[in-house]
A and B are shown apart, each in its own frame.
Chain A
Amino acid sequence: MADTQIFSGAFAEPVLAAQSVFRTVMDCMARPGTIGTIAATARPPQPLGVAAGAVALTLCDHDTPVWLTPQLARSKLPGWLSFHTGAPITGEKHEARFAFVEKEAVLPGFALFSPGTQEYPDRSATLVVEVDSFEDGRPLKLSGPGIRDEAVIAPQGLPDTFVALAEANRAMFPRGVDLILVAGDRVLCLPRTTVIKNREA
């Protein structure tokens, strides 16, 4: 009756851990392409990764509807999120403030999520997407605010359409979604302001 997976696995020191994760995510968001390490330990139900779990505990709350991929929605994650963060789970992508996509899941189209409005661009979704690794993938060239000249990342596990998706997202500025990529305990942010291009080999 007591569901161990739902009730356990949150931060041991909720305030300090959330502050530390917030700081890491904020720094990475301010400097797109920088890889940060999540220092706090979260043990979310499988198949969500540890960094994604820590981001969820830090950023989600009662006011942020969360969308989950079909596989995550079938896992213990909805109960875990609800108990530890109070976040409501929604099946409607456009209602979500956060979306979680586990490793190897199909990345949903960005356009289905809320890009905010022209008056309130902050009412947009943030997508937390887990990839296989931040190394040895197809190199991507980043430029834009927070990046001196340009940065190069090579995440593994993003679909081929990723650059096109990101370009369409960028075109809506100031509206658009923001991305947090996670791999293991590491995190990398791609806000809507970042221009993402394939780097010629």
Chain B
Amino acid sequence: MNAAILANQVPDPLQKEFILTVERLTVSFDGFKAVNDLSLYVDEHEIRVIIGPNGAGKTTVLDLICGRTKATEGTIKFRDKELTTMREHEIVHAGVGRKFQNPSIYEELTVFENLELSFPRGRSVFGALAFRRDAEVRDKIEEIASLVFLKDSLQTEAAILSHGQKQWLEIGMLLIQSPELLMLDEPVAGMSVAERLKTAELLNNIIHNQSVIVIEHDMKFVEDIAHRVTVMHQGKILSEGSMDHVKHDPKVVEVYLGH
């Protein structure tokens, strides 16, 4: 299996600079600790999958990293930048991209326009007013569109795309920003088997340039893409390692896979 080979190539994490270092991260909502003293280290060019039962705090971790939720305690370091004190758009500028659980695209605009708005230029008020659709923009949009299988739908209104295509479009909207860390919340939810395979292929293709954190429930898909898997339970990390490792971890079997 493709993923198994890749998993063997991951070097010893202790000898490397991490792209993302999360330490002692805690967030408390009225006393309820959705994420509790969590530490997580993601390598350059790694695909990390976070799994866990509902309510384990997986999405909250992504919310914390991208600045949507403010941490109660702990640090999140992206290379040498501390993300917990930065505002959302600054985190994006630093190179972190986030895909939401439900496809979050601009339904009233075309695929082209969706990608264009995500193109990292003219992000200030006056920059947006002065923005011109030049060859560089068009080329990049076409390049990304063919990467996410939407080359023939550029002038289609996003609302009428299929669910799977919407998911791809949102992934494309992130890719066009060339983030160094890509966070995907259930990217294959609602996709057909064929679409899942294509998405796995897409993720494995883009990995040369970025690190990816994926939240996913679909075990087949996880096996296809994961370099390493982190299992969360009740706001904490239950187990971490290769898919094989966590699959046979008795704690994981009990809380998650056993169900």
To the question of whether A and B form a pair in one complex, the answer is: no
Q: Which residues of B contact A (CB under 8 A)?
A: none
Q: Which residues of A come within 8 Å of B, CB atoms? A: none
